[in-house]
Amino acid sequence: MTRRYPLWLVGTVFLGLLLFLLADRIWALPDPGRVHSVLILAQDRTPLRAFADNEGVWRYPVTLDEVSPLYVQALLEYEDRWFYWHPGINPFALVRAGWQWLRGGRIISGGSTLTMQVARILDPHDRSISGKLRQMFRALQLEWHYSKAEILNFYLNLAPFGGPIEGVQTASFAWLHKPALGLSHAEAALLAVLPQAPSRLRPDRHPELAQRYRDKVLRRMATQGIWSQEVVDDAMNEPVMRSRFQQPMVAPLFAERMKSQAFAANVARLQTRLDTNTQWVVDNVLRTRVGGLPAKASIGVLVVENATGYVRAYAGSADFYNAERFGHVDMVQAVRSPGSTLKPFLYGMALEDGLVHSASLLSDVPVQLHDYAPQNFVRRFSGAVSVTQALQQSLNVPAVDMLQRLTPANFVARLRNGGVVISFPENAEPNLSVILGGAGTTLEDLVRGFTAFARQGISIKPRFLEDEPVVERRMLSAGAAWVIQDILRGIPAPEGSVNATGVAWKTGTSYGFRDAWAVGVNDAYTVGVWTGRPDGTPLPGSFGAAAAGPILFDVFRALPKRGGVNTRRRPPEVTQTDICWPLGESAARTAPEQCHVRQQAWILDERIPPTLPNLQQYSWSAGLQTYWVNPLTGLRVTAECNAPQRVSRQVAQWPLALRPWLSNTLLEKIRLPGFDASCPPGSQYQDGAQLAIRHLDDSTRLYLPKVAEVQKIKGVTVDLLAEGGVGQYFWLVNGEPAGVGASQQGLRYTFARAGDYDLTVFDTAGAVDKVAIRVISQP
């Protein structure tokens, strides 16, 4: 039998519903999802930093599955046990609250449901009959438009917890210093009761009162049988500690950078891929090292995971709160001079282009390129060096020479294509100084470029978010990248550090000691370190290996052990072979007498490029020199000699510029025999006289003036004289150019300090003579 309702009742309900829908349209419900504050999270959802809304309210957005079920149990039991059954208003609770008010003359229980509490948060009103009616109307609106789960989630995010703190997640971090998902029974009960009187129950001001109210909740949970008495008794023994509200400030500059992305995406919270453990490691290193920095100096550190490109740690400054150290300036993004950190890319490109292999002969000698004369950091020259030595010792002259061959414009374009953006002043063009730091880039871009050495030559752009696209660029061929990382792996760790993590690394120091860099890779990570003054003031004596290198190795040693790409797996195109200096050819194809120095080299695709031709002002490069001898005497004859017995010989000659640095043993290998008297040379050979230093030999001792005479005489001055040879004489003192003199003239030189001095002279034809003298101080 169908039950019939009176028409007046149906009409009344219909009219009431119609009026509600009309009122709902006229007085629209305020947006419950309004969240103007922003929370930046780590990978494990740990808050890194929060940004308050325009009213200064701190609200850490949270979802129901990110809150402990214990808290939800305590909340619903204490505040609204019929939450899932009523339509937003609990008439029985309202009647009970009204009766208690009439009997006691004061409010004993509010009768408000959780839905009504959310309604009051969204649309505040006064404590009057009209205000209560308005609250009830808003509660009905909430139930009409949203599910119970959504309404509960609004409460979790909007409930007041004292002062500017809103939401259970904010309260949990503020008063308990932990996420809401990890609450204990006692902590869940505390947070459930705080919104009843958030100002009176603040744990930082009234911990004893807060504990009494918390215990009231605990007792109810036991009475209702929701929690066992044993659990409640144990929870009541847990004191409420006085706790100061502190905003999370982990990786603050990184979080500030992410805030703009959150606003752009119109989200209240942004979960990044930053790893809290790795960030803690980096922050701990900075806390340890910051005390040893010069005044107003800062540090920037970036840690990128090679396999994914995820940024695992980001320290934009040494101390965010230290204004003297410019803690608010993010040095990960700052454009600075990279010093010598670009050299690995240069040699990698030269390897890839087939110009050199790892043991190719290079010249570290004084050069003058128009108005540019590059100097090494240590202010001395090494002469003959391999590509490996030049890179490991960060020698400047070989790098500038290599850049001439690649051309600066080509080098910069290839760097940019690989992800390392090089900046120049307005209207400036790439030039040779770029390889020594005469340009600008960022720590972030440098780290991006160095990832190529761990990723078969392919760099990856640092990624901050999981859904960020993977951007990869080919920087080098796989073979070239492997050879360079193998060379960089051979650089000794800084003094006091131990390279126990297989780090391939490179340092850099900018002009005037303004920037000190260290960038390194291992299988799992690429790490970059910058240190200096953010305002660009020089820090004399602060260079990469000493200032940034130890920080780099501190970070690497402390990083969590994690699998990564295997950078030690040699690509098939890389093989090892022996080559010979000075010609640079394979040892197997070089005559034994022409193999003056044997080197082991990594080569690509079986290519063995010979020693590069000399681009400088000297007269010849490495190569075979042909001469003729009289076989009867073994002495040299000229090409014009008509001696029928004349035979040709060949000797492997070193580049002329390297002659002053060659050992006597090597000089003897390239020395040509004297001329045969039966076939004398022409005048261009100066009668064939051998080049020799006059008046000075290895037993020479020069004496500085006595102490009393020092003010008048600055040192001991001598005339450097030589005889024989061809053309001009080029003099060097301890490897440094001292001057040029004509064949029959001397060069006046003053020795200002006591010590041992190596004197070298070479002529236009490449003949060399050396002596070692000593300068002694007189008492």
Instruction: Give the Cβ contact number of residue 687 at 10 Å.
Output: 10
Q: Give the Cα separation of 387 and 599 in Å (integer).
A: 11
Look-up: residue for tokens 């039998």? 1
Q: Dmax over Cα atoms in the chain, in whole Å?
A: 145
Single-letter amino acid code for the residue at 410? N
Task: State the Cα–Cα distance between residues 569 and 582, nearest whole angstrom.
Answer: 31
Is residue 681 a contact partner of residue 675, using CB atoms and an 8 Å limit?
yes
Name the amino acid, one letter, at 60. Y
Neighbouring C-beta atoms of residue 733, cutoff 10 Å: 16
SS (H, E, C) 540-566: CCCCHHHHCHHHHHHHHHHCCCCCCCC
Sheet of 311-315, strand order: 311-315, 298-305, 525-532, 515-521, 504-509
**Can 360 be counted among the known catalytic residues?**
no
Q: What does DSSP assign to residue 435?
A: G
d(CA 634, CA 628): 9
Active-site option among 77, 79, 305, 444: 79
Sign of CA dihedral 401, 407, 409, 412: negative
Measured in degrees and rounded to the nearest 5, phi and psi for residue 346 equal -60, -50
The total number of residues shown for the chain amounts to: 779
Which token pair is 734? 């301890």
Residue holding tokens 């982990």?
Answer: 250
Pairing of strands 383-386, 361-364: antiparallel
Helix H or strand E segment including 140: helix 129-145
Q: Tokens 């060399």 — which residue?
A: 768
**Of 112, 340, 363, 621, which one is the catalytic site residue?**
340
Q: Read off the tokens for 258.
A: 């992410």
DSSP string, 342-361: THHHHHHHHHHTTS--TT-E
State yes or no: is 79 an active-site residue: yes
Exposed (0-12), middle (13-18) or buried (19+): which is 370, by Cβ within 10 Å? exposed
Residues catalogued as catalytic: 79, 340
